[in-house]
């Protein structure tokens, strides 16, 4: 057995986001931005169990604090997905985005069509549900890496490729 864990491909998450609300902060040196999640999907990788095919429902938000130096964003997103077989699952992910040139262009509104590369955004996903078919998700650890997908005339999409942490 290896001393370090491995990742088993689990699912791809695509979240449509809207323009942020710049809330600010009187007590922190880094101000709060609230980014509305307006839709999206969560779909299992081939062979992952339990198989999930779901859409985000209702209103979700990503609460983002930028580091004072502007080099990193701290994410804390909350939303609910509804599976094709009518289960409701609460999704939370936290993470860090390193603000490279591609990410700066996205947040500055100057990015052209296309996707930023994977490798500057990493997340940890957790789940909560009352549906026994998906309850085991609550007992697993998931890590993902993300990117932004820009397409003129459409909502900005954040895409995460997520793996389940397993013994090495």
1 falls in which pLDDT band (50, 70, 90)? low
Give the fold, CATH level 3, of 6-166. Porin (2.40.160)
Q: What is the mean pLDDT of residues 102-119?
A: 93
Q: How deeply is 139 buried, as exposed, middle or buried, from its count of CB atoms within 10 A (0-12, 13-18, 19+)?
A: exposed
Share above pLDDT 70 across residues of the chain, in percent, rounded to a whole number: 99
**What mean pLDDT is reported for the chain?**
94
The per-residue pLDDT for range 112-149, each reduced to its tens digit, is 999 999 999 999 999 999 999 999 999 999 999 999 99
Q: Are 148 and 103 in contact (CB under 8 A)?
A: yes
Q: What is the pLDDT of residue 22?
A: 82
**Residue 68 predicted with pLDDT over 90:** no
Tokens 């130096």 — which residue? 69
* E strand or H helix at 75: strand 72-83
End-to-end Cα spacing for the chain: 6
Q: Where along the chain do its domains lie? A: 6-166
CA geometry: angle 114, 143, 136, nearest 5 deg: 125
Q: Which of 131, 13, 6 is nearest to 75 (CA)?
A: 13
The per-residue pLDDT for range 50-59, each reduced to its tens digit, is 999 999 998 7
Q: CA quadruple 10, 11, 12, 16: dihedral positive or negative?
A: negative
Q: What is the pLDDT of residue 110?
A: 92
pTM reported for the whole predicted model? 0.93
């Amino acid at each position: 057995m290896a001393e370090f864990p491995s990742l088993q491909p689990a699912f791809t998450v695509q979240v449509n986001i809207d323009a942020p609300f710049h809330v600010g902060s009187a007590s922190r040196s880094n101000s709060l931005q609230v980014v509305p999640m307006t839709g999206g999907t969560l779909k299992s990788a081939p062979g992952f169990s339990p198989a999930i095919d779901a859409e985000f429902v209702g209103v979700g938000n990503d609460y983002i604090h930028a580091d004072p130096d502007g080099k990193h964003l701290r994410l804390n997103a909350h939303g609910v997905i509804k599976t094709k077989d009518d289960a409701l699952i609460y999704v939370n992910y936290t993470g860090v985005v390193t603000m490279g040139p591609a990410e700066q262009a996205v947040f500055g509104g100057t990015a052209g069509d296309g996707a930023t590369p994977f490798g500057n955004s990493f997340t940890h996903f957790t789940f909560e549900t009352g549906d026994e078919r998906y309850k085991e998700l609550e007992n697993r650890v998931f890590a993902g890496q993300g990117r932004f997908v820009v397409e003129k005339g459409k909502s900005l999409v954040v895409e995460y490729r997520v793996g389940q942490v397993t013994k090495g």
